[in-house]
Structure 1
Amino acid sequence: MERVLVRTAADGAPRSFTRGSLNWRVAAEPVRWYERVRWWEAQRPLPRGLGRVDVEVWQVQATPGQRGGGLTTFQLVRDATDGWSLRGRMS
């Protein structure tokens, strides 16, 4: 998964994210769910003292940069260290 910089609203929902040099603006209400982490397959161990084995997943529809354009669907994943990754581009 690709690491991305995400800016959130007060409630924690993604409002925009930067992928490479392009800023994407979330243009529709995002959808959130949680998934279990297969900790035994993780690329890196969970931080010591955190019993959390779930990741928070947000599916967002976003438009690129200031120019706007069509909506593209992405899945953003927040891990146990509050880091964000881009799981994939859905459309």
Structure 2
Amino acid sequence: MKEIVITLNAEGVPVSFELDGRTWVVGAEPVRWFERRSWWETDLRMGRQGEARRIDVAVWQLQARPERNPSSDLVTFEVVHDEVGKWMVHAQS
């Protein structure tokens, strides 16, 4: 997975993102769902008593095109908003 920078609208929905030095503009309604992360594989310790730990992450399917080529076909990306607030590209098709 590769970290990306996402721009959100006022409702918190992705509208564009930066990937490998290129700006992509979302061209279709994004789809969001939640997935349980494999916390048992990544966490080094259990949380302290009363400490909130996120075990679900938001996954967004974004259909976007390069900002410099508004007539190009949409490319589908799956991005994850992880438990520490980073945005990561999970898949591209």
TM-score, length of structure 2 as denominator length:
0.85
Match of 1:21 in 2: 21
Q: Which runs of 5+ in 1 are unaligned?
A: none
Matching of residues 1-20 of structure 1 within 5 Å: 1-20=1-20
What amino acid does structure 1 have at the position aligned with 2:52?
Answer: L
TM-score, length of structure 1 as denominator length:
0.87
Does the residue aligned with 1:4 lie in a helix, a strand or coil? Answer: strand
Measure the CA separation in 2 of the matches of 1:52 and 1:60: 23
Flag the 1:43–1:22 CA change in 2: closer, same or farther, 3 A: farther
Deviates more, 1:13-22 or 1:45-54: 45-54
Deviates more, 1:5-14 or 1:34-43: 34-43
The count of corresponding residues between Structure 1 and Structure 2 is 90
Rg comparison, structure with higher value: 2
**Alpha-carbon distance, 1:59 to partner:** 0.2
Measure the CA separation in 2 of the matches of 1:74 and 1:9: 18
Measure the CA separation in 1 of the matches of 2:35 and 2:6: 19
Does the residue aligned with 2:63 lie in a helix, a strand or coil? Answer: strand
Q: Which runs of 5+ in 2 are unaligned?
A: none
Partner residue of 1:73 out of 76, 84, 87: 76
Deviates more, 1:29-38 or 1:7-16: 7-16
Q: What are the Cα deviations for residues 9-47 of structure 1, in whole angstroms up to 9, with x where unaligned?
A: 111111000001100000000000000011122287798
Measure the CA separation in 2 of the matches of 1:46 and 1:66: 46
What amino acid does structure 2 have at the position aligned with 1:77?
Answer: V
